[in-house]
Amino acid sequence: MLSNSLQLLGNTSVSRFFSAHHGPILKTALNDLHKAHGGKMVPFCGWEMPIKYNDLSIIQSHVHTRLYASLFDVSHMGAYRIYGPDRVKFFNRLVVADVDAIKPWDNKLTCFTNENGGIIDDCMVCNKEDHLYLVVNAGSQPKDHIHITKQLEIFKSEMGSKYRGVQINFIDQMSLLAIQGPLSQRIMQRLTGMKKLNKMKFMKAAKGKIDNVNFEFGRWGYTGEDGFELAIENPKDALKIGELLINQPEVKFAGLGARDSLRLESGLCLYGNDMTEEINPVEASLMWLISKKKRKEGGFVGYEKIKSQILKPKSVKQKRVGFELNGGAPARHNAEVYDMEGKKIGWVSSGGPSPLVKKPIGMCFVPPKFAKLGTQIQIKIRKKMSTGKIVRMPFYPDSYYK
């Protein structure tokens, strides 16, 4: 299995894939900086990442992000640049978005599907004019890569003599730094000198420069707040920019702990919890990811298997919804959901405390008839039933710059 995978990896950095599963732990360009700032490092998907920092608790970091600005090092995620005349035609087969409709420097959240229509990973695709820029999750990146390269072989053989070329470049040394929070624009304006940043809308990308370092960035994130994600290819430059960002008076470092509590509060899915290969986009309440054209015409892997559910969404056996408990302990992943009569109806995919809603919140999968807002439910936590109800997401209002 491993040798097959290595063969498919082609001209990419084999060491990173190997490390992610078998080798020594990987470190981002900011590793020393995290430690110097009191980062509590933990292994995560083969990387040494900060879960929190000494100066703030996870909740304090969460609140700081919503009020001011936090810096997240998300360099563990996988970044690709896909070139070639057939790149759009090829990539369009792999995701549920209309890749051909993405305007230059626009970004789209989408997902890869498997032959059953299940979700392989969620990802961001950006049209950078002469190439597609792709970011995938750290944990899924090795399997995403195998999937993409395998699909390329299929595409090539189907196109035959009409094949004009696709080049998949994995950017091994890419650093991704996310600045998130209401003060992000102010900080970026100060550092880049880009006064027109107030015209850059959510999900748009652009080129930037800080202290002679050129980089690309986008107005998005994973916290529900306004913010930017900077992509810097040279590790030394990434460290320089990281230091400049953390030295801004408004900014505090935030780790994986706050990243998870923020995304949950904002109703954002986590791959591996709320989306898996066994869950399709309709069940995951992510129908909006599938373009209107693809809902009717297909054109992505696994469409035929989920076509009937796309056309009749209420026919799914389970649906992802948000819940709020009346009090008590938080419900966690895999906790059982019951109706008020005590019959088991579903399961919790993500759960935790909400610093701002001040109730335990989470996402669960239940049959469509229980998915209505306000439906009373019970969740079994350590042998006791905890009552709550189905609520709208996001649990806390988001602040995307639209």
Partner 1 sequence: MLNKLTKTNFKPQSFAVVGVSSLLKRNFVKYYTQNHEWIDVNGKETKSGISEKAAKDLGDIVYVELPEVGETFPKDETYGVIESVKAASDVYMPVESEIIEVNEKLIDDPGLVNQSAETEGWLIKVVIKNHDELKSLMNKEEYVKFCEQEEH
Which range binds partner 1 by CB under 8 A, 54-62, 93-101, 153-161, 302-310?
54-62
Structure tokens at 56: 């703030």
The minimum distance between CB 164 and partner 1, in angstroms, equals: 49
Phi, psi of 400 (to 5 degrees): -65, 145
Q: Find the part of the chain contacting partner 1 (CB under 8 A) among 58-66, 76-84, 208-216, 298-306.
A: 58-66
Residue 374, burial from CB neighbour count under 10 angstroms (0-12, 13-18, 19+): exposed
* 52 lies in the site for partner 1, by CB under 8 A: yes
* Residues facing residue 190 across a β-bridge: none
Picking from 98, 103, 96, the residue whose alpha carbon sits closest to that of residue 121 is: 96
- Decide: is 328 part of the binding site for partner 1 (CB under 8 A): yes
**Options 157-165, 245-253, 256-264, 368-376: segment touching partner 1 (CB under 8 A):** 256-264
Tokens 């999750």 locate to: 137
From 25, 41, 329, 357, residue interacting with partner 1 (rule: CB under 8 A): 329
Cβ closest to partner 1, residue 181 vs residue 360: 360
382 belongs to the binding site for partner 1 (CB under 8 A): yes
Task: With beta carbons less than 8 A apart as the criterion, state whether 36 and 45 touch.
Answer: no
Give yes or no for a contact between 138 and 271, defined as CB atoms under 8 angstroms apart.
no
Closest C-alpha to 50, from 72, 67, 29, 66? 72
Q: Is 294 in the site for partner 1 (CB under 8 A)?
A: no
Q: Is 330 in the site for partner 1 (CB under 8 A)?
A: yes
Token pair, residue 401, equals: 């710059």
- Report, in Å, the least distance between residue 167 CB and partner 1: 41
Q: Binding of partner 1 at residue 57 (CB under 8 A)?
A: yes
Q: Which is nearer to partner 1, 25 or 51 (CB)?
A: 51
Residue 223 makes contact with partner 1 by CB under 8 A: no
| Residue among 107, 185, 261, 309 that touches partner 1 (CB under 8 A) | 261
Q: Which stretch binds partner 1 (CB under 8 A): 8-16, 50-58, 131-139, 221-229?
A: 50-58
Report if residue 117 touches partner 1, rule: CB under 8 A. no
Are 58 and 353 within 8 A, CB to CB?
A: no
Q: CB under 8 A: which stretch of 126-134, 151-159, 254-262, 301-309 binds partner 1?
A: 254-262
Helix (H) or strand (E) holding 142: helix 141-159
267 near 261, Cβ under 8 Å? no
For position 353 contacting partner 1 by CB under 8 A, the verdict is yes
Phi, psi of 62 (to 5 degrees): -60, -50
Q: Of residues 89, 143, 305, 332, which one binds partner 1 by CB under 8 A?
A: 332
How far apart, in whole angstroms, are the C-alpha atoms of residue 79 and residue 77? 7
Which residues, at least 6 apart from 69, have a Cβ–Cβ distance to it below 8 Å? 179, 180, 181, 182, 183, 184, 187, 227, 248, 250, 251, 252
The footprint of partner 1 (CB under 8 A) covers 51-52, 57-60, 257, 260-261, 328-330, 332, 352-353, 360, 382
